[in-house]
Amino acid sequence: MSIHRRAFVASFGALAAGGSAARAQTFPTQPVHVVVPFPPGGGTDALARAIQDRLQQALGQTVIIDNKGGAGGNLAHEFVAKVTPDGHTVLFSSNNQMLYPYLVARLGYDPAAFVSIGFVAKQESVFVGSADAPWADRFAGRVGNASERSGRVTIGLLPVPITASSAAPIAEARW
């Protein structure tokens, strides 16, 4: 990681924490762009907007939410990796960032260029089925039932989140 990115991480983290010594520094000198790798209206966008006001207060500067959806979030990652690392552009990433090297043949950036600045939220994924279906009380029973009904179990997924979309072929292969 470059010295500029390390300096950014240290200063941004201190500023976001609201330290008075950090506020006395000159960073940020311009609005901070928080790039969300998905279109407006989704969960990641909602989380970014939920912390926008407090982040503006902590930084003493305008924070702009900049949605750059496409390629399951990969386009935004590439965009942020290529901007000048002066700390005024950050990525509001999700857990799919770690999957890109395995899902995208030729990344236009080095995933190691990013470091975690802070944790915002945790997402849980669940299986949901009809209450009238013959599911057992335990998850293992549900998977077993699906295995017995190979080719007759339907899985519905949102088209955008790579992690959910990538889980379907794995689940399908096991059922």
pLDDT tens column, 155-171? 665 544 444 444 444 44
Sign of the Cα pseudo-torsion (12, 18, 20, 24, in order): positive
Residue at 120 is within a domain: no
pTM exceeds 0.75 for this model: no
How many residues would you count in the chain? 175
Residue 145 is part of which domain span? 139-174
* Same-domain pairing of 99 and 157: no
pLDDT reported for residue 165? 47
Q: How many structural domains does the chain have?
A: 2
What letters, b where the CB count within 10 A reaches 16 and e where it falls short, cover 31-61? ebbbbbbbeeebebbebbeebeeebeebbeb
Residue at 154 is within a domain: yes
Q: Any idea which residue has 């080095």 for tokens? A: 110
pLDDT tens-digit series, residues 16-37: 555 444 445 688 999 999 999 9
* Same-domain pairing of 9 and 90: yes
Residues of the chain with confidence (pLDDT) below 50: 1-11, 14-15, 19-23, 136, 159-175
pLDDT reported for residue 170? 44
Asked if residues 61 and 33 have their Cβ atoms less than 8 Å apart, the reply is no
